[in-house]
């Protein structure tokens, strides 16, 4: 059978079901993506990375991993689940070394099995290397097809493994040069950490889609997706790694270079709306401040007479507070959230799924009964969960519900690391605002216009990617490369059982 025909057949296989980590159906937001963390020059690097990943858990809950270098020998531990499940003390103790990288994963690309959990680690001609990547590469499948055609073997279905192949094939001299050589060939979003036995290279793509920070803990260098992960180990915030910057951390300190052609940055505005933790600073701004500003803007563009403002907790709390401050309408905790649920590892049976919202959120009847409510959510993806939440309020005798969304209509999919469904499944792609209002069963509905969103950040359009709202993708999309999502071609249960 011709190789091309075989590939086509393999791609037509149905996707393999997720072994664990069924998507949390109580949540109707775009899924978080990944978080990365690195430490250089500390005798307990793995423990610091563990804490850093703990602080970045909101960026990915399906898998976690740490790789450390002990005098040039890389030791890894990776697993499926939350950080504290993956790293029991005896397992963490096995990951020794003075520098290392870590990763928390939500599977925006590639299925959720252990082979896809990062950091990916390989032995190659120059020793060993590990990669931890946040973002999606839009030409990954195109590159992978080319590599497979010349005999390359892939162990995972993640786009990040392409980087490993490109680095290992580079004929450049130094480790950093091989990484830069590989990065010249990929397109899309990456905040990435690449390490070998001696050095860590931290790089951010020229558009700067995903955040990346450089920090310092006495003599130790630290790199993190967000400042909240620097805070947890008392590391000083030095500066953000700039879009297009490559930083090498080694025995002699750090070296920085900007080896790519300069472009106008397109940082992901969704980091402010939903992804990043409110106590973090990213892209030069406080996430909490921007979120409150989103609520203020919403109150200006979509005012309404009401008795109370409430949020769909927790991510919408700052925007709801901002709306309340601006409008003068009191804020109240109309929903009680069960913080002990975590991700619901349940079968995706329809009856159970409906139950999922109630497991997570319950309205406070006393607070909402008979009230005219402004309900704030940060975004709507499919609208199915929003409808269930509104139903809960109706059943508690809310008198009026005015739904206000602290972002514009999501009309397109993201190709840069935020997991939004195909656009045909996006409610705002298919319905007008009035149709959505009817579907949700609310008295009024308003979204935040793009201009007001930008106003909330204090920056103009040229700072941000807004593609999921305005269809202006800063790069070619995967369709432009005639690429296809890879399917796993075998499942290796033995590695999962060993928990390697
Ligand atoms: Fe962020 Fe949307 Fe751009 Fe994706 S498409 S990077 S979610 S702004």
The pLDDT-based confidence of 201 (bands split at 50, 70, 90) is very high
Report whether residue 381 contacts ligand 1, using a CB cutoff of 6 Å. no
pLDDT band of residue 2 (cuts 50, 70, 90) is: very low
Q: Supply the Cα-derived Rg of the chain in whole angstroms.
A: 23
**329 C-alpha vs ligand 1 centroid, how far in Å?**
32
**For residues 459 and 209, which has the higher predicted lDDT (pLDDT)?**
209
Q: What are the Cα distances from residue 21, in Å, to 88, 423, 489?
A: 19, 23, 20
* Cα 373–chain centre separation: 31
Structure tokens belonging to residue 142: 């195109």
Tell the residue number behind the tokens 């607070």, with chain if given. Answer: 367
Cβ–ligand 1 distance for 416 under 6 Å, the answer: yes
- Tell whether ligand 1 has an atom less than 6 A from the beta carbon of residue 272: no
Rounded-to-integer distance, Cα 51 and Cα 160, Å: 24
SS3 assignment, position 250: strand
**Which fold, 286-338+353-459?**
Rossmann fold (3.40.50)
Give alpha helix (H) positions in 313-449.
317-327, 350-360, 365-368, 384-395, 427-430, 433-440
pLDDT, residue 23, reads: 37
Q: Is the CB of 209 under 6 A from ligand 1?
A: yes
| Residue 494 scores a pLDDT above 90 | no
**Annotated active-site residue in 34, 228, 414, 465:** 34
pLDDT of amino acid 4: 46
Contacts for 148 with CB less than 8 Å, ≥ 6 apart: 7, 154
Residue whose CA is closest, atom 4 of ligand 1?
A: 414
Grade residue 352 by pLDDT with cuts at 50, 70 and 90. low
Please, are residues 381 and 396 in contact by the beta-carbon 8 Å criterion?
no
Atom of ligand 1 nearest to the CA of 474: 3
Closest-CA residue, ligand 1 atom 1, reads 268
Tell whether pTM > 0.75.
yes
CB 50 within 8 A of CB 102: yes
Residue 23 Cα to chain centre, angstroms = 14
CA distance 101 to 132: 7
Give the DSSP H/E element, type plus range, for residue 80. strand 73-80
Residue 418 CB–ligand 1 contact under 6 Å: yes
Q: Is the CB of 269 under 6 A from ligand 1?
A: yes
Q: What is the pLDDT of residues 249-302, one digit of tens each?
A: 999 999 999 999 999 999 999 999 999 999 999 999 999 999 999 999 999 999
Question: pLDDT tens for residues 462-489?
Answer: 899 999 999 999 999 998 886 555 555 5
Q: Which residue owns the Cα nearest ligand 1 atom 2?
A: 468
pLDDT in tens, 228-245: 999 999 999 999 999 999
Task: Name 193's bridge partners.
Answer: 132, 202
Hey, whose CA ends up nearest to atom 6 of ligand 1?
A: 268
Can you tell me the distance from the alpha carbon of 289 to that of 319, in angstroms, rounded to the nearest whole number? 9
Q: Is the pLDDT of residue 186 over 50?
A: yes
Residue of 206, 270, 378 to mutate, ligand 1, most atoms within 8 A of C-beta: 270
- Tell me whether residue 459 is one of the annotated catalytic residues: no
Condensed to tens digits (0 to 9), the pLDDT of residues 59-99 reads 999 999 999 999 999 999 999 999 999 999 999 999 999 99
Residue 270 in contact with ligand 1 by CB distance below 6 A: yes
Domain ranges for the chain: 24-266+480-499, 286-338+353-459
Cα–chain-centroid distance for residue 461? Answer: 22
**Residue 231 token pair:** 């805070």
pLDDT for 390-432, tens place per residue? Answer: 999 999 999 999 999 999 999 999 999 998 888 999 999 999 9
Q: Identify the DSSP state of 328.
A: -
Tokens 């991700």 sit on residue: 343
- Model confidence at 41: pLDDT above 90: yes
Which of the pair, 412 or 20, is modelled with greater confidence? 412
Answer whether the bond into residue 314 is a cis peptide, omega within 30°: yes
pLDDT cut 90: percent of the chain above it: 79
How far is residue 63's CA from residue 65's CA, in Å, rounded to a whole number?
7
**Cα–Cα distance for residue pair 165/153, rounded to 1 Å:** 9
Q: Decide: 374 and 334 in contact? Cβ < 8 Å.
A: no
Q: What tokens does 476 get?
A: 């070619």
Taking the domain 24-266+480-499, which CATH number applies? Answer: 3.60.20.10
> Does the beta carbon of 468 sit less than 6 angstroms from any atom of ligand 1?
yes
State the distance from the centre of ligand 1 to the C-alpha of 209, rounded, in angstroms: 8
């Amino acid at each position: 059978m011709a190789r091309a025909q075989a590939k086509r057949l393999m791609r037509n296989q149905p996707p393999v079901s997720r072994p664990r980590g069924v998507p949390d159906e109580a949540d109707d937001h775009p899924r978080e993506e990944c978080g990365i963390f690195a430490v250089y020059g500390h005798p307990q690097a793995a423990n610091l990375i563990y804490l850093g990943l703990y602080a970045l858990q909101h960026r990915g809950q399906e898998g976690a991993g740490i790789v450390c270098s002990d005098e040039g020998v890389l030791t890894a531990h990776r697993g499926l689940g939350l950080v504290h499940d993956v790293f029991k003390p005896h397992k963490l103790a096995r990951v020794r070394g003075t520098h290392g990288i870590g990763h928390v994963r939500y599977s925006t690309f590639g299925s959720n099995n252990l082979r896809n959990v990062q950091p990916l680690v390989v032995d190659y001609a120059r020793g060993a290397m590990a990669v931890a990547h946040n973002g999606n590469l839009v030409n990954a499948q195109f590159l992978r097809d080319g590599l497979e055609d010349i005999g390359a073997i892939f162990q995972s279905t993640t786009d990040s493994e392409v980087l490993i192949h490109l680095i290992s094939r580079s004929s450049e001299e130094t480790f950093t040069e091989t990484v830069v050589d590989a990065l010249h060939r990929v397109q899309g979003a990456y905040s990435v950490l690449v390490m070998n036995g001696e050095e860590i290279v931290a790089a951010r793509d020229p558009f700067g889609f995903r955040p990346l920070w450089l920090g310092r803990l006495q003599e130790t260098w630290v790199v993190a997706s967000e400042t909240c992960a620097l805070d947890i180990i008392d590391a000083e915030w030095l500066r953000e790694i700039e879009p297009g910057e490559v930083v090498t951390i080694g025995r002699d300190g750090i070296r920085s270079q900007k080896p790519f052609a300069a472009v106008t940055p397109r940082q992901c505005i969704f980091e402010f709306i939903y992804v990043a933790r409110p106590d973090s600073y990213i892209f030069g701004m406080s996430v909490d401040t921007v979120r409150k500003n989103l609520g203020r803007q919403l109150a200006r563009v979509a005012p309404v007479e009401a008795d109370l403002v409430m949020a769909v907790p927790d991510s919408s709390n700052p925007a709801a507070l901002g709306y309340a401050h601006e409008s003068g309408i009191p804020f109240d905790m109309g929903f009680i959230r069960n913080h002990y649920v975590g991700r619901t590892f349940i079968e995706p049976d329809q009856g159970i799924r409906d139950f999922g919202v109630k497991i997570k959120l319950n309205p406070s009847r006393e607070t909402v009964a008979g009230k005219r409510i402004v309900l704030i959510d940060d975004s709507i993806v499919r609208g199915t969960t929003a409808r269930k939440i509104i139903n809960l309020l109706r059943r508690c005798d809310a008198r009026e519900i005015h739904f206000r969304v602290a972002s514009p209509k999501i009309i397109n999919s993201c190709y840069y690391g935020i997991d939004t469904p195909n656009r045909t499944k996006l409610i705002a792609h298919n319905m007008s605002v009035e149709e959505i209002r009817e579907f949700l069963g609310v008295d009024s509905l308003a979204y935040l216009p793009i201009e007001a969103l930008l106003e909330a950040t204090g920056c103009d359009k040229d700072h941000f990617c807004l593609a999921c709202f305005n269809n202006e993708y800063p790069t070619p999309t995967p369709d432009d490369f005639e690429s296809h999502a890879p399917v796993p071609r075998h499942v290796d249960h033995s590695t999962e059982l060993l928990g390697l």
